[in-house]
Amino acid sequence: MLDRPGDLPLISPLSRAPGRYRKQVLATALACSLALGSILVNGLEHELVPVASAAGPVFDHEHTALDTLLVAFVVDGAVDYAGLQNHRTELQTYLATLNEQDEKRFHQEFTRDQQLAFLINAYNAFTLELILEHYPVASIQDIPGNWTEPRCRLFGRKLSLNDLENKIIRPRYGEPRIHFALVCAARSCPPLRSEAYLAGRLAEQLASAARDFARDRSANRLDMESATLYVSKLFEWYPQDFAATWGQTELPPGSVDSADHRGVVGFFSAHLTEDQATYLLHNSVTLQFLEFDWDLNARPAD
């Protein structure tokens, strides 16, 4: 990855340089002018275009290559794997750019949102590559070592999908809404977005992903007649993540039997419609976890 530019050397005016050094001074001056944060041209301010250094290539925080593929091959969370297979080289090239980044600079110079967007996109792109490597396949569960085999090349080393999620993203960032952004290529997963996650929009994108999944009746539903909240198994697998954020939600006595489940109900009280949230905050409910559909999240044509 790139080092910070640091202090620029002072350049003597060209007219003062000895004749045999003038070309060298001119070249140095040009290089330094390109490294300035901004310059004024015709009275208009122009922002610096990132310049690569010896530490590594400039990184595209717009994730343009991945975004282009997601726009083209993902519709309403369903992936056209057959079409994407024809563009696998582009996906692999994007993954290579992730692997080229220096881990030290990633932590020192990327903002928290840039880091998290980078890692979410990496997880989803590696998952797409895993499916394409074995395509056609009916389910990610049919792939040996799907979560545990270290096949993800990142920061110059190999990681598994489990490593990426459970050793890096979850413990380091403490953001429970990543469970609605990390997509496991199954129908019961939260849907893959038709766009990459971006640092500048990350808060909005995570909020949207959490709200949409909470209100998706194929994944979660509140039955007021039976006082039952049916929820995805995601909440059974990672209840502690939701307890950390929503575990202090005020609920009726006896509504849930553990702090973890309080966090789950608290999450839904914050993301369902107003009348549903009001019901959860004033009525005891029973939690029921729905079966998980591991069939591939492919478009019907596949």
Query: Residue 27's pLDDT band (boundaries 50, 70, 90)?
Result: very low
- Look at residue 39 in the predicted model and tell me its pLDDT: 31
Please provide the DSSP assignment of 83-123 as one string: HHHTTHHHHHHHHHHHHTS-HHHHHHHS-HHHHHHHHHHHH
Report whether 259 contacts 243 (CB < 8 A): yes
For the segment 243-300, what is each residue's pLDDT rounded down to a tens digit? 999 998 998 887 777 888 999 999 999 999 999 999 999 999 999 999 999 999 999 8
Residue 63 is given by DSSP the state -
Q: What is the pLDDT of residue 21?
A: 36
Of 121-125, 166-170, 252-256, minimum mean pLDDT range: 252-256
What confidence tier does 207 reach under pLDDT thresholds 50, 70, 90? Answer: very high
The full set of domain ranges for the chain reads 1-56, 64-212, 221-289
The residues pairing with 139 across neighbouring beta strands, listed in sequence order, are: 295
Structure tokens at 266: 């608290």
68, with CB counted inside 10 A (0-12, 13-18, 19+), is: middle
Query: Has residue 238 got a pLDDT over 70?
Result: yes
At residue 55, the pLDDT reads 54
Which pLDDT band, with edges at 50, 70 and 90, does 301 fall under?
Answer: low
Task: Please state whether the peptide bond connecting residue 171 to the residue before it is cis, i.e. omega within 30 degrees of 0.
Answer: no
Tokens representing 291 are 């079966």
What average pLDDT does range 49-69 have in this prediction? 75
For residue 20, pLDDT beyond 90: no
pLDDT-based confidence at residue 22 (cuts at 50, 70, 90): very low
> For all residues of the chain together, what is the average pLDDT?
85
How confident is the model over 34-56, as a mean pLDDT?
A: 38
- Look up residue 163 and give its amino acid: D
Q: Which amino acid, 37?
A: G
pLDDT of 31 strictly over 90: no
Centroid of chain to Cα 274: 28
Closest of 114, 134, 10 to residue 59, by C-alpha: 114
Cβ neighbours of residue 212 under 8 Å, at least 6 residues apart?
180, 190, 191
Q: Between 25 and 227, where is the model more confident? A: 227
